[in-house]
Amino acid sequence: MTTRFPGTWWRTAAGLAALALTATTTLGAGPAAAAARPLGDCTATAGVILAVDFGHWGGPVLRACGSTPTTAYALLNQGGWHTTGTVHDGPGFICRIGYRGYQHGVQYPTPAQQACVLTPPAGAYWASWQAGPGQTSWTYSQYGPISYHPVPGGISLWVFGGTNLGGTSGSARPTISPQQLRTMAGHEIVNAPPVTASVSVSRGSAWPTFLAVAIAVLLAAAGTAGVARRRRAERS
């Protein structure tokens, strides 16, 4: 009696399991994590200033400091800052922003103002602006927050409102200059020192984990079947 062992399938499945576990590790790690720093650590050549303008709700511009290298997304999820994405676009699309040291950590816009299920309209969203070291004007960011990497000495500013596609007009254009943020001059600017984060940050989809578990179950089942076949072959 000839017994067929699933050698080829076994090797293929094992390879898929390894790839799935690698994907799980990669997504689980998420974007580069920023270390929240005291404001004095952000200079013209070190750190990156995070600024969030809550003026749409009558609030101040909050200013914080993070280490580099990092991503714009990680800056918004460190030192007490936290964000919410959308169901449609995932956590990488910034739909709400909150800081634990301001209004008890309420994220804006609130759920009553924006459900964060679909992509927010162009007239009511968080617009991202960047200024490099020494720059005196803003650049409207065309990159997603996970893809954008602020440079040492730079500033990352978020303003809620609306813009056209190029960011050249609209209520979400900054009314504060990079230099004013660096020197805290001319606007209601409040420092936001690091505090312990009160929420967890989503790091991506969980499907690789499910896939890896499913493949592992199949591998175990195949191994059990292989043992049974060998035993039958030995008895025959």
Please report the domains of the chain, with CATH numbers, ordered by start residue. 36-191 (2.170.130.30)
The lowest-confidence range among 52-61, 148-157, 162-171, 210-219 is 210-219
Q: Which DSSP string corresponds to 66-96? A: E-SS--HHHHTTSTTEEEE-BTTTBTTS--E
Kind plus residue range of the DSSP H or E element containing 19:
helix 7-29
**143-160: b (≥16 Cβ within 10 Å) or e:** ebbbebbbebbbbbbbbb
The confidence score (pLDDT) of residue 143 equals: 86
Checking if the pLDDT of 103 tops 50, the result is yes
Query: In the block, which residue shows the tokens 């013209």?
Result: 44
| Averaged pLDDT score across all residues of the chain | 79
Residues whose CB falls within 8 Å of the CB of residue 43, separated by 6 or more in sequence, listed in order: 153
Which are the contacts of 19, defined by CB distance < 8 A and separation ≥ 6?
none
Q: What is the pLDDT averaged over residues 82-88?
A: 97
Q: How confident is the model at residue 78 (pLDDT cuts 50, 70, 90)?
A: very high
Q: How many CB atoms lie within 10 A of CB 186?
A: 12
pLDDT at 62: 97
Distances (CA, A) of 216 to 13, 16, 24, 57, 191: 9, 10, 14, 50, 50
Give pLDDT, residue 226. Answer: 53
Residue 128 and residue 51 in contact, taking contact as beta carbons nearer than 8 Å: no
Q: What is the mean pLDDT of residues 109-138?
A: 96
Q: 119 phi and psi, to 5 degrees?
A: -60, 130
Q: Which of 15-24, 160-169, 217-226 has the lowest mean pLDDT?
A: 15-24
Summarised one tens digit per residue, pLDDT across range 137-195 is 999 998 899 999 999 999 999 999 999 989 999 999 999 999 999 998 878 999 999 99
The pLDDT assigned to 186 comes to: 77
CB atoms within 10 A of CB 162: 16
Answer yes or no: pTM beyond 0.75.
Answer: no
3-state secondary structure of 125: strand
Maximum Cα interatomic distance, the chain, rounded to a whole number of Å: 91
